[in-house]
Amino acid sequence: GESVGLHLPTLSVQEGDNSIINCAYSNSASDYFIWYKQESGKGPQFIIDIRSNMDKRQGQRVTVLLNKTVKHLSLQIAATQPGDSAVYFCAEAGRGSSNTGKLIFGQGTTLQVKP
Amino acid sequence: EPEVTQTPSHQVTQMGQEVILRCVPISNHLYFYWYRQILGQKVEFLVSFYNNEISEKSEIFDDQFSVERPDGSNFTLKIRSTKLEDSAMYFCARKDSLRNSPLHFGNGTRLTVT
């Protein structure tokens, strides 16, 4: 069935270390993926996206990796800062999204940054 | 800053009452969405709205829900007879284009049904 999920509910890292947040998806037909950051009391905030014709995309301090063979998506955050503490969601363009633009979200990973 | 403004930020209502949640996009866009998030859970799709019509809705979006854009600006979600399980954060989102573009969310309305 159609599902997007994350491997770990909580990730705790030391300030300054690199963080890696993982996501597994099941719909091999998905061709667009997004990472969102959600801080307490706020809506999901767009971080970075990637299309299925790419394996890697870099932003400012963030990198998204896509492995279509094993249907795995990861978000790497370099030099993690206290402000990075939040819940991180991956999302995919679901089945039929070419007509509606609907995104399907995973469960979320809570990133805790220790000072 | 969010690219859509949602009002109210918090709505408390009694079971069986009707509520209307509002969303105002900052700029003129065509593709709008409502999602909800029960406390501690993932963000769930409710409905997509394009050109003043529903383009897709989820199983959650049953007959008690409706959406409209009455004045070409505000985008509303109405829940006719609220239930306890409707308590959640409700997020409005807009999209720049239909394919391969992210959703941009508002900060949500927290609905509490008592």
pLDDT tens readout for residues B29-40 = 778 899 999 998
pLDDT of residue A3 exceeding 60, the answer is no
Inter-chain residue contact B41 with A107, CB threshold 8 Å: yes
pLDDT at B26 over 60: yes
Interchain CB distance below 8 Å, B100 and A102: no
Confidence tier at B99 by pLDDT (50, 70, 90): confident
Nearest to A102 among B48, B105, B108 (CB): B48
* Candidates A41, A96, A101; nearest CB to B31: A101
pLDDT digits (tens, 9 = 90+) for A29-74: 888 999 999 999 899 999 999 999 999 999 999 999 999 999 999 9
**Cα angle A106, A88, A100; round to 5:** 45
Chain A residues whose CB is inside 8 A of the B67 CB are none
Mean pLDDT of B100-114: 93
Name, in order, each residue with C-beta under 8 angstroms of B1's C-beta and a sequence gap of 6 or more.
none
CA torsion angle for B2, B14, B85, B19 (degrees, to 10)?
-40
Mean pLDDT, chain B, rounded, equals: 90
Residue of chain A nearest B33, judged by CA positions: A102
* CB proximity B45 to A under 8 Å: yes
Q: What whole-number distance in Å separates Cα of residue A33 and Cα of residue A52?
A: 8
Q: How many helices (H) and strands (E) does chain B have?
A: 0, 11
Cβ-based burial of A34 (10 A; exposed 0-12, middle 13-18, buried ≥19): buried
Answer for the pair A62, A47: CB distance below 8 angstroms, yes or no: yes
Tell me the per-residue pLDDT of B41-54, one tens digit each, with 9 for 90 and over: 889 999 998 888 89
Q: Is B41 on the interface with A (CB under 8 A)?
A: yes
Question: Are the C-beta atoms of residues A81 and A113 closer than 8 Å to each other?
Answer: yes
Chain A residue with Cα closest to B37: A43
Cis peptide before B8 (omega within 30 of 0): yes
Give tens-digit pLDDT for A99-112: 577 888 998 999 99
Answer whether B45 sits within 8 Å of A31, measured CB to CB. Answer: no
**Edge to edge, what strands does the sheet with A62-67 contain?**
A4-6, A19-25, A72-77, A62-67, A56-58
pLDDT at A93: 83
Terminal C-alpha separation, chain B: 31
